[in-house]
Amino acid sequence: MPSPYRAIFSAPGTASFSVAGFLGRMPLSMMGIGIVTMISQVTGRYGLAGALSATLAMSAAVLGPQVSRLVDRYGQRRVLRPVTLVSLAAAGGLLLCVQQEAPDWTLFAFTAVIGVVPSVGAMTRARWAVIYRGDGRSLHTAYSWESIVDEVCFIFGPIISIGLSTTWFPEAGPLLAGVFLAIGVFWLTAQRGTEPEPHPQTAAKAGSALRSPGLQVLALAFVATGAIFGSVDVVTVAFAEERGQKAAASLVLAVYALGSCLAGAVFGLLHLKGEPSRRWLLGVCAMAVSMIPLLLAGNLPLLAVALFVAGLSIAPTMVTTMALVEKHVPHTQLTEGMTWTGTGLAVGVALGSSAAGWVVDASGAESAYVVPVVSGALAVVVALLGHRRLRRPVPNREGRDEHEDSGTGQPVA
């Protein structure tokens, strides 16, 4: 492990909560695509599969910030354990309904309740923020590490979920996702030494973290970004199935995540200067442009290459986003603030996966890659219109402002 990454794990408890967070985040990459694969295996209806995946994402978008707001007020252990049990019970109900060929409305009802699942990535990032508060360079490395963990989940999660559902039984992928969630959340919340201190009075009086203009821009841009991710997942599964290689979709999507993982690893080693808002804008533009070659990929090997290149811009943009969130919301609302970016992604995934499913049913998978292209263009529009809000000096909890270098904490020219 390169020395900057080794250094951040010198703090007690960091390795343990990072591993627990990894397990707890595996369902993020397994559940949605697992539902798509399960429903398409059982019914052959990609429209229904995409709509259920969208329901899950939309439910998480609505419920996730509320769960995180409660975490800021009452602590991770008191909140995460009961909501995780509710989510697991709903997942069990969904799998039972699929197995028993229950009416469609029951599938939507249980899928909606699964969305109470906590944002484990926000929980682990909040722990890093407490440990390295005021140390911008270490926090940059820690956020880069978390992005690497995210992408490792997205490399192996779809492979495991799609592979199990296509070679064992259709419900196997979502079932294992539930197991990972239970282990990860209960292990994470057992680690009290690194748990951020709750702020019941301050968090209650402050209102929603989304009142921050900068956070509003980030969340809205991530709606379009999420539409990229959601549509790419659905269309790629359908693209592979049209070519008689449905199980290969997991490998192609893993290559997409691998590109992001490698870029995130390198990005964490860099000591960057200049405005984070400018780097963020460039990252959003790069993600949008990288979607165009998907329209030209006529086979799986070319598609894998195109997705690998597209993945290179993801992790650096995500890391910069978390640095901007950390600057634009008070530390008493940091978990909620980080969750709102995930909420933006979840809403986008809902819209993108649903739109992609209908386009696949209507025109075929190859044509459906227009959905991530359009989504990328919308992300650029939002980023350009809202960039000025991210550049405004915003005093944060240490008294620094947004024009300080995220790596050193020093003012930039």
3-class DSSP assignment, residue 115: coil
Is 317 a member of any domain? yes
Q: For the full predicted model, state whether its pTM sits above 0.85.
A: no
DSSP designation for 69 = H
* C-alpha span between 316 and 283 (Å, rounded): 7
Span 311-339, pLDDT tens digits: 998 888 888 888 788 787 777 777 788 88
Give tens-digit pLDDT for 276-309.
788 889 989 999 999 999 988 878 889 999 999 9
So what's the pLDDT on residue 201?
59
For position 394, what pLDDT does the model report? 55
What is the number of structural domains in the chain?
A: 1
**What is the reported pLDDT for 183?**
95
3-state secondary structure labels for all residues of 245-269: CCCHHHHHHHHHHHHHHHHHHHHCC
pLDDT of residue 407: 40
Q: Which regions of the chain are under pLDDT 70?
A: 1-2, 200-207, 272, 274, 392-413
Structural tokens at position 233: 């997942």
Instruction: Give domain status of residue 384, yes or no.
Output: yes
- Is 309 within the bounds of a domain? yes
Q: Which CATH number covers residue 70?
A: 1.20.1250.20
Q: Report if residue 244 sits inside a domain.
A: yes
**369-407 residue pLDDT tens:** 999 999 999 999 999 988 777 776 554 444 344 344 434
**Position 158 in a domain:** yes
Please, where are the H alpha helices in 9-45? 14-43
* Within-domain flag for 111: yes
Domain span at residue 247 reads: 3-391
Q: How confident is the model at residue 84, as a pLDDT?
A: 94
Q: How many C-beta neighbours within 10 Å does residue 317 have?
A: 27
185 in a domain, yes or no? yes
pLDDT at residue 81 in the model: 93
Q: 101 in a domain, yes or no?
A: yes
- Please tell me the predicted confidence (pLDDT) of residue 287: 92
Kindly report the backbone phi and psi dihedral angles of residue 114, in degrees, each rounded to the nearest multiple of 5, phi listed first.
-55, -30
